[in-house]
Structure 1
Amino acid sequence: MVTKIPEDFIEEVRQQTNIADVIEPYVQLKKSGQNLFGLCPFHEEKTPSFSVSESKQIFHCFSCGRGGNVYKFLMDMEDLNFPEAVLKVADFSGISLPANYQAPSDHSSEPHAILKQDYQAAQDFYHHILLRTQAGVSALEYLHQRQLTDETIEHFQIGYAPDQSQILWSFFQEKSKSTPELQRSGLFTESDQGQFYDRFQDRVVFPVTDQSGKTIAFSGRLLQPPPPDRPVGKYLNSPETEIFHKSKTLFNLAAAKTAIRKQGEVVLFEGFMDVISAYQAGLKNGVASMGTSLTSEQIYLLQRLTHRLIICYDGDAPGIKAAQRALKLLQETNLEVGVVVLPGGQDPDEFIKKQGGDAFVKLVQHKSLSPVAFMIEFLSQQYDLSNDLQKVDFLNSALKYLAPVQSPVEQELYVRQLAERLQLSVTAVQQELADQIKSQKLLQPLAQEGLTKQAQEAAPNRDLEYSHLDRIEKSERNLLQIVFHFPEVINILDRQNNFHFVHEQYQEIFDVWLRASLTQDQLTVAQFIDLIPENLRNLVTTIEMMPRPASYSEAEVQDYINNLQANSEEQQLRIYQQKIQQAAQIGDSQQELEFTLKLITLRQQIDHAEKKELLDGE
């Protein structure tokens, strides 16, 4: 058995995998010209600048500069090493490993990967206790009483942390885990005396995963109410760690991705049990915001995956207010938003138990309100509409939400609804709305102008970086891109006397390409990215993604060569000038004469070459 993946297998997997298929679970891609574009998964942006080329099998972000092939994407996205990325792509494409290859059991020594392995081990441990031990019987009965099926428990890998203070600690001690590692994990608490205890005790444990489905945290729910002398919260979450950041994590996102993409929308819940109950009812595209207020980072995760979001929070007053806060954040996005209002102040889990799963799915999929309709409904509950003065106040408040609506059809629809609710004429409400719009325009022209300017500045100009390069660096990039696609150009460069690139990074790329092309038939850039040093991969991708014609001319290549050689000659001229000045300062007339002759000779050579170029051009 060998533990090094054969090169031919690596290339076979790359050739049989469409990079867009691997990226789409993380980024919603749309066709634009020859490439696919979406919001970059490596930094937040408002305008899509993340590009995927299916013909070249590479990705590149025009804003942050990240780029590479399918393996590089997974390495950056999921913190994998190269063999792990190859194995994951092979599994994705259904390609079997070579018979003589055995994957190493210890996947990675990276600190993040080690912590994820620890959480996976803890998850398996807690899940085993729930399903296979006497200690887990009461917890399993509790989940069954909550009407969770065994299939649902298995799908979410729910577990149970027994009412023991060091059972997990002992489990890891048997695995010879170091104390600093366990201390960093967040799985334990430390007493003032330096003693370590399990963080989760006598709790049903819900695993929380990252975008790739690896467990990074837990949320534990108490089985029994706490004693009066030990008040603790019903839910306990893992603390923030190197791998877990609550504001950037959504419960069930990894498992829901496929359904989100298939249905074109995501349903946002407040809590874990809501997501789990909805899943069991048949709604597979639900996520939850970790029991806290929605954050801009979480919204960005969802924006990359879909264009529509449905808020389904609790129907009580806190849930309504939480939905209102979420809508304010979502105003700054291009997401199409719907809001589901559950009757009687129920939460989703209660509604499903009382009305059934089919009724819940139907409500979410067909009965959601637009943000404006939701806000009008929310406001109507704050006023006594039998009182004329409060009617007027309600109307003025409602029209503030209606004024920004651009669609005349939507505006008319809401105007008629308000008129009917308040028993007013449609004309009167329309007039009030017109006054409201006029007032807002007078108050916010400067703010709107600032927003427009900000939006323009946020839009990435994909040619901006290239336009800021000097003539030399433009020549280097263009020349390398031609070399990537037309191997015969290397022969043209070989015919030049002492040809070299001006900047070190471009020379290094050329040297590695030259060596690789001697051993690889029909070398592609997607292949080359695995061979180039890490610090040059983004630059290689940037060069490859530059737009250019499908062919080249020798004259074009010669122009780039001349630019680079001219720069070298100009640098040499400056060196001679410095030498002459230094010789004059120390009074060395012999050396001053020697470098002056060299300077004159080089200038004559440059002048001769320029005259020849002009004559050739005529």
Structure 2
Amino acid sequence: MAWFSEEKIEEVRSRNDIVEVIGNYVKLKRSGSGYVGLCPFHNEKSPSFSVNPARQMYKCFGCGVGGNVITFLMEYENYSFPEAMQSLAERAGIELPKTEMSAEQRRQESIRTTLLEINTKAARFFFAKLKSSQGKIGYDYLKKRELSDETIVHFGLGYAGQGGGELYQYLKKEGYSDQVLKETGLFKMDERGVYDKFWNRVMFPIMDIGNHVIGFGGRVMGDAKPKYLNSPETRVFDKSRNLFGLNYAKQGKKSNMLLCEGYMDVIALHQAGFQNAVASLGTAFTQQQANLLRRYTDEVLLTYDSDGAGVKAALRAIPILRDVGLRCKIIHMDPYKDPDEFIKALGADEFEKRIEDAQNSFFFEIEVLRKNYDMTDPDQMTAFYHEIARKLLVFSDKVQRDNYLEAVAAKYNIRRDDLKSLVIRYGNSVPEGYRTQTARQNETAKRETKQESGIRYSYRLFLTWLINEPDLYDQIKELVTPDDFFEEDFLVVARLLYQQLEEKALVPAKIINHFQDVESQNVVANMFQTEFKTDMTKEEKEKALNELIVRIKEYSIDHRIKNLSDMSELQKLIQEKKKWQNAERLHISLKDG
């Protein structure tokens, strides 16, 4: 449980009202006994994000996320559990214990904290190496790229030595074991020995939005391959959920963000005064990164390379940005390849002009598409118009689609009514490629929910029922016990819930405190928030509850029979199952109202 006691975690959670905290990030509207709003974790037009003040929990019925106030901060701000605790403690005026621990205790207590600590020391090591005689090749390279000393210090740029294991030896002297060093991704370990993964490279520390060093990128000096090498994914480094430079860009005064391909582009733009530049981390742009950007801006300007690969990357990024609700424009840098080259050649003022002239991303897509057709050939022109009609279907909002239809028809001299007819025709049978990613994800989620008719669904329904009607506990506790739950996560939660009900101190949000990673917290939150049919009579509800109890008990008995080690118990279990198969003997009564 990290280094916080259960009592301290609960004090922090209970002193931060979930409606107030989430209300700082999401516009909430009263709905019955709770609040609803647009989910901050996926793009949606109708609110499916629900906050329950009585339970002090939230749940999105669109994308499935859920949890308590600590979970929300971890998910939204990409905080670790201790970071979320610290933020909420400060908000509530609570002082957290600052117990000094040895390096070994920290390693035992939190491997994540240790990895961040090692990354910070590695960054300092690389920075010191850059200013040494051995790092002159790296320093000269950066100066040749016209980076100032101030910029080098600002981004913490460094140099990895000529080979061997200098970093490894340094960190070993700092007291770290091979087991934890292996988890950093900074070393190669095999039967031949241990070697630094990065050598003869200029080093770019990668930081999360909390300014923690979570990984590294390295640019080789010379012609070796690969030209750029990034840290592998670790417990602290998820490439799909972070962006290079965002820790600085989020503090900027610009209303938009510049999305680049490379680290040097970001650094060159920041040095030129464009401190709203970020880049993905050596992989294709992801929806998680788009959602991360959505927290800080409504508009993204793509500054991808002007070559064929850059155009393809832009075409991949545009629908991802659109799906999360971000406006997108394209900055054209011809005749230069990338922002770094452009800034060096023409300067910041000219780049500012290119920003002002940035092209609407939809028109960029259409222009790229048009190059595939010979517009002097009537058949190919017709095919192009049909393709435009299909493309217009990416806009689910009718007003927005009509506005784009008018603009496209005018730009390409197409009769408006003809284009609209095509859009209507294709809209009746939308091709898979033109459905938004969000729509596909929602449909997948619905299919998975429909298919979840097994024991896990029964467990979730039962736990939710107990939370909704805790007065049932005395009737149920001898019939279904926590030991009847044979999924590990449900077993833990059932024991905690039964303990609260026994003590008559029901606080579902407190149970989530026992889980520190966001994924587990989402799973637990979902256990408590299964939807019920609202149009059932009292008799129908009682029948459903009794059948649910029988289903869980029969599964429990069958599971014990299958895993029986003492065959003398078999006859007893068979007799017990026969009793439960007579469902008429069971009758749990619900209160009226």
Tell me which of 530, 539, 546 is aligned to 2:513. 530
Aligned residues of 1:39 and 1:49 also touching (Cα < 8 A):
no
Map 1:279-318 to 2 at 5 A.
279-295=270-286, 298-299=289-290, 302=293, 308-318=299-309
Moved more, 528-537 or 329-338: 528-537
Aligned residues of 2:159 and 2:202 also touching (Cα < 8 A):
yes
Q: Whole-Å Cα distance in 1 between the matches of residues 364 and 520 of structure 2? A: 51
Moved more, 106-115 or 332-341: 106-115
Aligned residues of 1:476 and 1:501 also touching (Cα < 8 A):
no
Tell me which of 407, 418, 433 is aligned to 1:434. 418
Q: Whole-Å Cα distance in 2 between the matches of residues 464 and 538 of structure 1? A: 19
Map 1:128-147 to 2 at 5 A.
128-130=128-130, 133-136=132-135, 139-140=138-139, 142-147=141-146
Moved more, 168-177 or 328-337: 328-337
RMSD: 5.8
Tell me which of 457, 471, 477 is aligned to 2:443. 457
Q: Whole-Å Cα distance in 2 between the matches of residues 79 and 135 of structure 1? A: 37
Q: Whole-Å Cα distance in 2 between the matches of residues 328 and 533 of structure 1? A: 33
Q: Which amino acid aligns with 2:418?
A: A
SS of alignment partner, residue 232 of structure 2: coil
Tell me which of 368, 373, 394 is aligned to 2:358. 368
Corresponding position: 1:319 with 2:310: yes
Tell me which of 319, 328, 341 is aligned to 1:337. 328
Q: Which amino acid aligns with 2:123?
A: Q
CA distance 1:4–1:252, shift in 2 (3 Å)? closer
> How far did 1:373 drift?
2.0
Q: Encode CA deviations 1:365-407: one digit per residue, 9 max, x unaligned.
A: x4321233223544677899xxx83798578647733663373
Corresponding position: 1:200 with 2:183: no
CA distance 1:566–1:134, shift in 2 (3 Å)? closer
Aligned residues of 2:70 and 2:84 also touching (Cα < 8 A):
yes
Map 1:5-16 to 2 at 5 A.
5=4, 9-16=8-15
Q: Whole-Å Cα distance in 1 between the matches of residues 285 and 407 of structure 2? A: 30
Q: Encode CA deviations 1:37-72: one digit per residue, 9 max, x unaligned.
A: 42658xx99998665556754333547866432334
CA distance 1:76–1:265, shift in 2 (3 Å)? closer
Corresponding position: 1:389 with 2:388: no
Corresponding position: 1:35 with 2:36: yes
SS of alignment partner, residue 335 of structure 2: helix
Aligned residues of 1:29 and 1:37 also touching (Cα < 8 A):
yes
Aligned residues of 1:40 and 1:48 also touching (Cα < 8 A):
no
Q: Whole-Å Cα distance in 2 between the matches of residues 542 and 178 of structure 1? A: 38
CA distance 1:510–1:356, shift in 2 (3 Å)? same
> How far did 1:29 drift?
4.5
SS of alignment partner, residue 404 of structure 1: helix
Counterpart in the other structure of 2:344: 353
> How far did 1:347 drift?
1.4
> How far did 1:269 drift?
0.9
The unaligned stretches of length 5 or more in structure 1 are 419-425, 484-488, 549-554, 576-594
Q: Whole-Å Cα distance in 2 between the matches of residues 320 and 22 of structure 1? A: 41
SS of alignment partner, residue 269 of structure 2: helix
Map 1:207-606 to 2 at 5 A.
207-209=205-207, 213-223=211-221, 226=222, 231-233=223-225, 235-238=227-230, 240-243=232-235, 248=240, 250-252=242-244, 254-255=246-247, 258=250, 265-295=256-286, 298-299=289-290, 302=293, 308-327=299-318, 334-357=325-348, 359-361=350-352, 363-364=354-355, 366-378=356-368, 389=376, 397=384, 400-401=387-388, 404-405=391-392, 407-418=401-412, 426=413, 429-430=414-415, 434=418, 438=422, 441=425, 445=429, 447=431, 457-458=443-444, 460=446, 477-483=464-470, 501=480, 504=484, 508-514=495-501, 524-530=507-513, 541-542=525-526, 545=529
Counterpart in the other structure of 2:120: 120
SS of alignment partner, residue 147 of structure 2: coil
The unaligned stretches of length 5 or more in structure 2 are 394-400, 486-492, 558-574
Aligned residues of 1:189 and 1:199 also touching (Cα < 8 A):
yes
Q: Encode CA deviations 1:551-601: one digit per residue, 9 max, x unaligned.
A: xxxx989x9799669968x999xx9xxxxxxxxxxxxxxxxxxx9xxx9xx
Q: Which amino acid aligns with 2:429?
A: P
Q: Whole-Å Cα distance in 2 between the matches of residues 319 and 566 of structure 1? A: 56
Aligned residues of 1:466 and 1:474 also touching (Cα < 8 A):
no
Q: Which amino acid aligns with 1:457?
A: E
Q: Whole-Å Cα distance in 2 between the matches of residues 180 and 377 of structure 1? A: 53
> Higher Cα Rg: structure 1 or 2?
1
SS of alignment partner, residue 195 of structure 2: strand
Q: Which amino acid aligns with 2:512?
A: I
Q: Encode CA deviations 1:170-203: one digit per residue, 9 max, x unaligned.
A: 2123134444544554323468x81433332332
> How far did 1:117 drift?
3.6
CA distance 1:165–1:186, shift in 2 (3 Å)? same
Q: Whole-Å Cα distance in 2 between the matches of residues 567 and 75 of structure 1? A: 35
SS of alignment partner, residue 276 of structure 1: helix
Q: Encode CA deviations 1:244-274: one digit per residue, 9 max, x unaligned.
A: 87862543265167459x8665432111111
Q: How many residues align?
A: 540
Q: Encode CA deviations 1:515-567: one digit per residue, 9 max, x unaligned.
A: 6657xxxx74434533699999667634655689xxxxxx989x979966996
Q: Whole-Å Cα distance in 1 between the matches of residues 459 and 196 of structure 2? A: 61
> How far did 1:355 drift?
3.9
SS of alignment partner, residue 415 of structure 2: helix
SS of alignment partner, residue 465 of structure 2: helix
CA distance 1:281–1:493, shift in 2 (3 Å)? same
Q: Which amino acid aligns with 1:288?
A: A
Aligned residues of 2:392 and 2:423 also touching (Cα < 8 A):
no
Aligned residues of 2:464 and 2:529 also touching (Cα < 8 A):
no
Moved more, 406-415 or 457-466: 457-466
Aligned residues of 1:207 and 1:215 also touching (Cα < 8 A):
yes
SS of alignment partner, residue 87 of structure 1: helix
What is the TM-score when the length of structure 1 is the normalising length?
0.65
> How far did 1:344 drift?
1.8
Q: Whole-Å Cα distance in 1 between the matches of residues 241 and 547 of structure 2? A: 53
> How far did 1:512 drift?
1.6
Q: Whole-Å Cα distance in 1 between the matches of residues 218 and 458 of structure 2? A: 61
SS of alignment partner, residue 274 of structure 2: coil
Aligned residues of 2:58 and 2:66 also touching (Cα < 8 A):
yes
Q: Whole-Å Cα distance in 1 between the matches of residues 22 and 408 of structure 2? A: 40
What is the TM-score when the length of structure 2 is the normalising length?
0.68
Aligned residues of 1:189 and 1:197 also touching (Cα < 8 A):
yes
> How far did 1:85 drift?
4.8
Q: Whole-Å Cα distance in 1 between the matches of residues 54 and 553 of structure 2? A: 40
Aligned residues of 1:269 and 1:287 also touching (Cα < 8 A):
yes
> How far did 1:205 drift?
0.5
CA distance 1:437–1:371, shift in 2 (3 Å)? farther
Q: Whole-Å Cα distance in 1 between the matches of residues 135 and 389 of structure 2? A: 54
Q: Encode CA deviations 1:476-508: one digit per residue, 9 max, x unaligned.
A: 63343344xxxxx5xx966x7986656646863
